[in-house]
Structure 1
Amino acid sequence: MAYRPVRKELSPAPPALSRWWERAEVPTWLVFAAIYGGWILLIVNANRIPWPLFSLAGAWLVTWHFSLQHEAIHGWLSLPRWLRHALVWPPIGGWLPFELYRRSHSQHHRDVDLTYPGFDTESVYHKPEDWARYSPAWRAVLMFNQTLLGRLLIGPLLRLRKLVLIEGGMLVRGDFRNLGIWLRFFAGLAVVLWFVSGVGHVPVWKYYLLVVYPGFSLGLLRAFIEHRWGEHPEERVAIVESNWVFGLLFLWNNIHVVHHLHPSLPWFRIPAAWRGARAELLALNGHYRFAGYGEIARAWLLRPVFVPVHPEPRPEQGA
């Protein structure tokens, strides 16, 4: 198949920011204040809050923080890059250095490579030759991960396994290019965990069990249906018309096709951009659209969404 770029020209460009609070990105600053203020209040009052509520609120804030990190990669353009990256750098999510996420996610946005294993850093697909050599047990694990229940339960473990294999493999080969990133990450994590355990009197294991892991899972809810194989890149990006609860949590990245077409569009303008070009966007992405996460759960809670074997090799650009 010949390379064809994403047809961004078929999607009308959203209007320029006109109101002062849009230009100053006031909604993003409010989210920033809510995340960090909420997290501090939650930790300080941890022993006064029933653990189910503590876990729910903590997971929500960690996922929201990850959404803000995503926004800082693409948007928040009223600030210089170094400042917006510094503001979202604190590792309250506990597992992935922001600098690594920024690098890999930028690679993910090479839309022509979407879904190709080895090229798309966020692909869940496997090369046919790799799948053929997997044991039946490992294939069963990967197929369970293709159900929504599996993605929420074991998805974080599989993502961590992949991270360890990649980063550990670099160290084994004598490649220390990411060492500084990890040293900075662990220094920041030490401060975060000191605050959690020393100020909030929450054991580290409890923070990881009740906050980090479910927060990780909640983030994978959004990513579960985000991409699939399609002949053309724009057909590989989903639309999930969820409610304001999940829309705010994911900073409207659930309307994912708008984000891929206009990555620097502020998150609070995505719904209007979607409403203004709904028919064109649905035609562009092959009507790869869902009414909400309830529809997704009903379809794939216990059933694999697809077999994660990529159907074709990556085409050469310009072929």
Structure 2
Amino acid sequence: MNKFVNDSQKSDIAHLKKWFIWKTEWPTWLLIIFFYMACYFTLTHFEHLGSLISSILLLLLITFYMSLQHELLHGHPTRYDELNRLFGLLPFALLYPFDLYKQQHLIHHSDEHLTDPILDPESNYIFVENWQALNLLQKWQFQLNRNLLGRFLAGPFFSFISVLKQIFLDFYQLKLRAILMWIEHFILIAVLFWALKSIFHVPISLYIIIAYFSISIALIRSFYEHRPAVNISDRTVINEAEFIFRILFLDNNYHLIHHDLPHAPWFMLKTIFKRHQQDYLIKNNGFYVRGYRTLFRLHSIKAIDSPIYQHSLEQVQSKINQRK
């Protein structure tokens, strides 16, 4: 459901929806075409370009593809879910099936549960009573996820462990629909690996490393998108990202606008923010980051907050009260 900062913005959004660019979503169509052409070019010229340049290009393309998948699962660029799904079904990043990503991400969009360790599948927090039951290795995992360097280096590995657990549970509990999803996913990965080896002559081991670090880059985006807060509107960030990250993340750094207007296409998010900037900064109590460089500078090693939900909630509310 769309949430507007005021009636004036609601009227403005209704006007923007009539723009040709919004109605046709031609930028998203161009990105889909660009991705598959660029990916095909890079793979077919892998040996000619050299391993280093090809790997960097694939790293950026796979990261970009995950952002494109995010756009597709939100109903872009067509009104037909199956067609959108087709554009994003291939598992270039290897880890998540498109359908699982869509299912969990749409649950995440229940804003009343944002950051809740149980109800939000994308939460990075844990309740204090569950924290006390963890062993040292498990606690280290949560703590590692609260600084950017740890998240970048180890985040994909922990995501892989989580996926393995999900596969085991789905098969053990005989969830037929989930089992079919995993079988489809495994087949698509097998086809991808076959094509990499037999057609494009790309080492599979190198591709796995590239995919790993593409997930690492994607995890930068979600590092501090949300924080625990009493008021729902205080939980979601606005990040004025650098140009390269805006492209790689398809402006999802304007995250509050995306959560308020989840059906707004990526290329309208910055426009909407700039037209109502002060309203949004008031709405989320100044939860604003001046680019990812700021996060790297302050929190490459130093934890941005506590992984314990109640502790971070208290810290955030203290800051909000001080602002008032």
TM-score, normalized by length of structure 2? 0.90
Q: Kindly provide the amino acid, as one letter, of the partner of residue 207 in structure 1.
A: Y
The equivalences for 1:171-250 within 5 A come to: 171-209=171-209, 211-250=210-249
Deviates more, 1:167-176 or 1:87-96: 167-176
Partners of 1:137 and 1:81 in 2: CA distance: 41
Task: Name the CA shift for 1:22/1:173 in 2 (closer, same or farther; >3 Å).
Answer: closer
Q: Kindly provide the amino acid, as one letter, of the partner of residue 20 in structure 1.
A: F
Q: Is the 8 A contact 1:75 1:265 kept in 2?
A: no
Structure-1 residue corresponding to 2:37: 37
* 1:71 positional shift: 0.6
Structure-1 residue corresponding to 2:284: 285
Q: Deviation string for 1:278-304 (max 9, x for gaps)? A: 111011111111110100101100111
Q: 1:22 aligns to what SS in structure 2?
A: helix
Structure-2 residue corresponding to 1:94: 94
| Greater RCO (Cα-Cα under 8 Å, separation 6 or more) | 1
* 1:7 positional shift: 9.6
* 1:52 positional shift: 2.9
Q: Percent identity over the alignment?
A: 27
* Structure with more helix by fraction: 2
Q: Is the 8 A contact 1:226 1:238 kept in 2?
A: yes
> RMSD of the alignment, in Å?
1.9
* 1:157 positional shift: 0.9
Q: Kindly provide the amino acid, as one letter, of the partner of residue 305 in structure 1.
A: I
Q: Deviation string for 1:258-315 (max 9, x for gaps)? A: 0000000011111100001111101111111111010010110011111111118xxx
TM-score, normalized by length of structure 1? 0.91
Partners of 1:128 and 1:286 in 2: CA distance: 26
Number of residue pairs aligned between Structure 1 and Structure 2: 307
Task: Name the CA shift for 1:107/1:56 in 2 (closer, same or farther; >3 Å).
Answer: same
Structure-2 residue corresponding to 1:317: none
Q: Kindly provide the amino acid, as one letter, of the partner of residue 193 in structure 2.
A: L
Q: Is the 8 A contact 1:108 1:120 kept in 2?
A: yes
Q: Is the 8 A contact 2:238 2:288 kept in 1?
A: yes
* 1:43 positional shift: 1.0
Q: Is the 8 A contact 2:67 2:248 kept in 1?
A: yes
Structure 2 gap segments, 5+ residues each: 312-324
Q: 2:188 aligns to what SS in structure 1?
A: helix
Task: Name the CA shift for 1:83/1:7 in 2 (closer, same or farther; >3 Å).
Answer: closer
Q: Is the 8 A contact 2:29 2:77 kept in 1?
A: no
Q: Kindly provide the amino acid, as one letter, of the partner of residue 172 in structure 1.
A: Y
Q: Is the 8 A contact 2:257 2:273 kept in 1?
A: yes
Task: Name the CA shift for 1:61/1:77 in 2 (closer, same or farther; >3 Å).
Answer: closer
Partners of 2:97 and 2:152 in 1: CA distance: 21
Partners of 1:100 and 1:140 in 2: CA distance: 27
